[in-house]
Structure 1
Amino acid sequence: MSMHMKKYIKGAIIGLSLIGLTLTSSPAAEAANHKFVMSYIYFGHPDKYIEAVNQTNGSLDMVSPSYFDLNPDGSLQLTAALDKNFIAAMHQEGMKVVPFLSNHWDRNVGIAAMNNKEALVKQIAKAIETYNLDGVNVDIENITGKEKDAFTQFVQMLRAAIPAQKEVSVAVAANPEGWEGDWFGSFDYAALGKASDYLMFMTYDESYEGSDPGPVSSLPFVEKSIQQALKYVPSEKIVIGIPFYGRYWKSDGSIKGLGIQNTVVDQLVQKYGGKKVFDENSQSAKASFVIPAGDPGTSVHGKKLTAGSYTVWYENDRSIQAKLSLVQKYDLKGAGNWSLNEEADSIWDYYTAWINNSTFRDIIGHWAESSIQFVSDKGWMTGTASNLFQPNSSLSRAQAAAVLVRMTGATLDQRSSTSLYWDVPANHWAAADIRIAKQEGMIGGRADGSFGPNQPVTREELAVMLSRVLELTPSTSGTLKFSDVGRDRWSAEAIRSLADYGIISGYKDGTFRPKQAVTRAEMAAMMQSVDKLN
């Protein structure tokens, strides 16, 4: 027996992450393909900001906290959230801190800032230097076309006053229809794009406070906004905004489109026995629930939700992934999020993979989604086509051989006289893996000397393969774990042993169904269970 198999449980798992390096692109290529990710921080206590960032699993390149506000006279106001310890902690992690400058939708304050731009620019530049910040994100909203030139000049002045290695970026309205009236007229997209490092298009609030119920950020709305933006700004300077919030409406009309955290929606649906659906046309999530009379209610952003029927449009993993796919489709700079502390934690498990187009679009919501992503990250299993995994397709014997070889890291002994099977030509995609699997005794051939590379693997065949690879101690319980696996079955010992270790399981009716074909999703789940043995 080879050393690969003898040492697998004790040591091979520890080193398997290294195997993936030979199966993926080079570090230089990955860096070139990396898409920028930033997130605003507005809600939550500053003492918890580090904890919130840590939960993103290293997905962020930059955070934009609410440090720069404006006084009524248009001068800079440093907020109470400004924290030198947080800035230092982010820099320690290699992350930039670029606070956003906001008038919080107050038109008069925004206009005052434009009339005070010379002094304001000096104050911002000084604050960036004093607190070792990495630039400024300008988020002045709800001024008008009358201030368009002044706003452009303000950004140009910031760029001239702030060191070149520091960031100057601008949050601008998404404009899918090319509107020029109201606050849309304040943005000279082309000029702002030239003056800044990038524009963060706020591709949300398609439905807003006071509007009729509808998605906050439908996929068609986001895509059309990108297409419109590309008329004025190069793709490498476009960042799209992903909402980590939804909006809710009460059926009696007393509440119309107030904001709600994505993470709170599931809590409300569960608490009140509500319903969730996914709207295919908008690629958005929708929920409904009823708060009964006499219920103490729930507070959302400080507002008490009283008895009545509610409709919520919000974002879930599937809708966010759909929007992030547009970053690759149009080769944009990246995506920004409004705002940290409102999202469902699960998105950070896959956010980096989604925005860099390195996951599979047919596994979202699948029962084995996490297992499939796990084996993909390990390099043990690959997709069947671009962004497709086909989780419910049967696993072929050739695929099984390839997965087991990748998992163990086994290589061909050049002194080996192991030959291929007569039905596996030398140019078969899995020929090398099949030969190695034969050499290691992982998979046996058929009585007629064939291998059957395209034949599906049955559940009992895979159990025997895994038992051979792991060299598990035979089960001594003697217990018949499954009603359809007798003691005299050729695969019984392997099935019992793997069940003892929690690697395989049966069905609710107590059967194992040994002759049933294994799906690719089931293989992924078993591989993740194998990894946990360590």
Structure 2
Amino acid sequence: MIKKYKIYFYLFVFALLITNVSFVSAEERVNMTYLYKGTMNDYKTYIEKTKDSVNVILPNLFNISSTGTVDLTYVIDKQFVDDMHKKGIKVIPYISNHWDRELARKALLNYEVYIKELVKIVSDYNLDGVNIDIENLIVEDKDNFVRFTKHLRESLSSGKTLSVAIAANPSDSKIGWVGSYDYKELDKYVDTFIVMTYDQSYYGSKPGPVAGYHFVENSIKTILKYSTPDKVILGVPFYGRYWNIDEKVGGSAIINASVKNVANAFHAKKYYDEYNRTPYLKFNVNKIQATYNVSGKKFTAGSYLMYYENDKSLKEKLILVEKYNLKGSASWALSQEDTSIWNNYKNWLNARYYNDTNGSWAEEYIKKVTVSGYLNGSDIYSFKPDNYMTREEFATVIYRIQGYSDIIVNGIYKDVKENRWSYNYINTLYSYGIMQGNRNYFYPKKYITREEVAATIYRVLKGNETAYQSKFNDVTSDMWSSKYIEFCVSTSILQGYPDGSFRPKDNITRAEIAALIAKIKGI
């Protein structure tokens, strides 16, 4: 009837006769992690703590000598490699110049000798490939870097993986360190790009997040201009940085595993940067406390800002893997994390975002609206699909699906104060004529009803005047909501019940809203 609304949604609330399906992928995504410090025995201990979440390790084995040849960090333990293989874990050591540009250039110029040695070691110890993590080159080194990568690819036997770690490049810059990567040429030879989406803020920079959400997402968008999602790995940090704002220079690193102790020691106040989707602490250190040691560095007296990663911020980043259908994730570096992250990391990486939606009729819808950012969980770990949705929660969802970037504030509602979390969303929707209250009250905590949902969707989709024709036994043409219900029914957005009722006053669950939004947005 109304062709422009190609929306096919059959919401049978009475029975919800949708097959219970668990949307668990048959093939788990790749989860790599770097191993930087420690012995082989230490590495085994670190890996045990991951709860079988990791399937590729990138140990620090290959350095570059002063003559441009292979310098082994450790004597390789073949038994360690065999043990990892028995666990189903691939061992792909990384080449590092540890930020030394001239050392890297020696390897690039001496590439034939270096690669010959490297390939022999990979073969002798049954390693699964090589990760090139050569950093701090510049544009002038670009061609030599491609030549090195090409020759290594041609020299490695089939079945061995070649990956390149690349710097975050949110603006697709062609200068400086990020300019040393010829993405298009490198894509011809590598199996995987590991995008190091961190160090947005660094030692010497102004205070800020190590890996803000938009910095991370835009860096992914850059490499996808030159490669395909199945070759891209999202790199995430297991560390943060802190600044004494009373000093001119700051930004020293702190591992996530140490943050909780610092917060407790200094009674830090915890915050969450909603724009960058990153947690941070504020705390003061007095002269007496200035002996506190973090990673060998003492705090000086002053006022501190500390940015780090927690479950919430890491989950936000891992959702990007599903959003862009990436190959997987990599982390820097194992042993730096708060080990509680492994309780959920594998599930989040594989788009299993909540502990209470597996097998739900709405599981796939919930996943889609989570990835799109339209509807979040009740908390980080649960969605609570059977809970009813409040009016202010629904207002927030509608604000997001409308894609509003502006905030219009008028303060019309007496029960929505300026300090209320939903204040901006509710007032903006009122200004656009999308969602309204009753006189000067919005009733934000009240559960939203089916007829209120119908009215809001009618306004969102700019529905036309439709005379009431449906024959529900509990809806009459003189009801305020009849035209809204008629529109939503005629466009198959909402349906009634087998007993002939619509139940306009009934509340609606979070799972039903997830399905509704997924269908409206065509996701």
TM-score (norm. length: structure 2): 0.66
The AA in structure 2 aligned to 1:237 is K
State yes or no: 1:256 paired with 2:237: no
Q: Which residue of 1 aligns with 2:343?
A: 349
CA displacement at 1:455 relative to structure 2: 8.3
Alpha-carbon distance, 1:313 to partner: 1.1
Post-superposition Cα deviations, 1:489-510, rounded to whole Å, max 9, x if no partner, equal xxxxxxxxxxxxxxxxxxxxxx
Q: Does 1:106 align with 2:97?
A: no
Change (3 A) 1:23 1:149: same
Partner of 2:366: 385
> What is the alpha-carbon distance in structure 1 between the residues aligned to residue 340 and residue 75 of structure 2?
27
Q: Which amino acid in structure 1 is aligned with residue 22 of structure 2?
A: T
1:370 match? none
* Offset from partner CA, 1:351-398 (integer Å, 9 cap, x none): 1221221114xxxxxxxxxxxx1x5458799688334655567659xx
Kindly indicate whether the alpha-carbon contact (under 8 Å) linking 2:205 and 2:249 is maintained by their aligned counterparts in 1. Answer: no
Aligned equivalents of 2:29, 2:365: Cα separation in 1: 24
2:136 to 134, 142, 145: 142
SS at match of 1:385: helix
Find the residue that maps to 1:180 and give its secondary structure: coil
Residue aligning to 1:446: none
- Provide the aligned length of Structure 1 versus Structure 2: 375
- Deviation (angstroms), 1:81: 6.8
SS of aligned partner of 1:194: coil
Q: Distance in 2 between matches of 1:519 and 1:232?
A: 39
Contact 2:23 2:363 in 1 (8 A): no
Within the candidate set 38, 57, 61, 2:55 is matched to 61
Question: 1:372-425 CA distances to partner (integer Å, 9 max, x unpaired)?
Answer: x1x5458799688334655567659xxxxxxxxxxxxxxxxxxxxxxxxxxxxx
Q: Deviations over 1:462-483 (max 9, x none)?
A: xxxxxxxxxxxxxxxxxxxxxx
Correspondences of 1:24-35 after superposition (within 5 Å): 24-25=22-23, 29-31=25-27, 34-35=28-29
Mapping for residues 318-397 of structure 1, pairs under 5 Å: 318-360=312-354, 373=355, 375-376=356-357, 385-386=366-367, 387=370, 390=378, 391=383
**Pairing of 1:297-336 with structure 2 (within 5 A):** 297-336=291-330
- Once the two structures are superposed, what CA deviation does each residue of 1:60-105 show, in whole Å capped at 9, x if it has no partner? 1200010111112211100127433322221110100101100000
Contact 2:23–2:364 (CA<8 Å) still a contact in 1?
no
Is residue 2:113 matched to residue 1:119?
A: yes
Deviation at 1:44, TM superposition (A): 3.8
Question: How big is each residue's C-alpha offset from its partner over 1:112-162, in whole Å with a ceiling of 9 and x where there is no partner?
Answer: 111110000001101111222111100001112111111101111111111
Contact 1:46/1:81, CA 8 A, preserved across alignment: no
Q: Output the aligned Cα RMSD.
A: 3.1
Aligned to 2:189: 195
Which of 177, 180, 201 pairs up with 1:207?
201
Matched residue type, 1:212: K
Once the two structures are TM-superposed, the CA of residue 294 in structure 1 deviates from its matched residue by 1.8
- Of 152, 155, 159, 2:153 maps to 159
Match of 1:493 in 2: none
State whether structure 2 residue 161 is matched by structure 1 residue 177. no
Conserved 8 A contact 2:36-2:60:
yes
* Offset, 1:231: 1.1
The structure with the largest helix share of the pair is: 1
Structure 2: give runs of 5+ residues left out of the alignment: 1-18, 371-375, 389-494, 498-502, 512-523
> So what's the TM-score if we normalise by structure 1?
0.65
User: Aligned residue for 1:415?
Assistant: none
Task: Say yes or no: does 1:76 pair with 2:70.
Answer: yes
Query: Do residues 50 (structure 1) and 31 (structure 2) align?
Result: no
TM-aligned CA distance change 1:121 to 1:270, over 3 Å:
same
> Is 296-305 or 93-102 further displaced after alignment?
296-305
Deviation string 1:274-308 (CA, Å, 9 cap, x unpaired) is: 11111000111111222222226332222222333
- Asked if structure 1 preserves the Cα contact closer than 8 Å seen for 2:357 and 2:385, the reply is no
State percent identity of aligned pairs. Answer: 37
Q: Secondary structure at the match of 1:318?
A: helix
Give, in angstroms, the shift of residue 236 of structure 1: 1.1
Shift of 1:49: 1.0
Question: Does the CA-based 8 Å contact 1:41-1:64 persist in structure 2?
Answer: yes
Residue identity opposite 2:135 in structure 1:
E
Question: What is the CA deviation profile of residues 33-52 of structure 1, one whole-angstrom value per residue up to 9, with x for unaligned ones?
Answer: x3211000113443221111
In structure 1, how many angstroms separate the alpha carbons of the residues matched to 2:358 and 2:63? 42
The alignment partner of 2:188 has SS state of helix
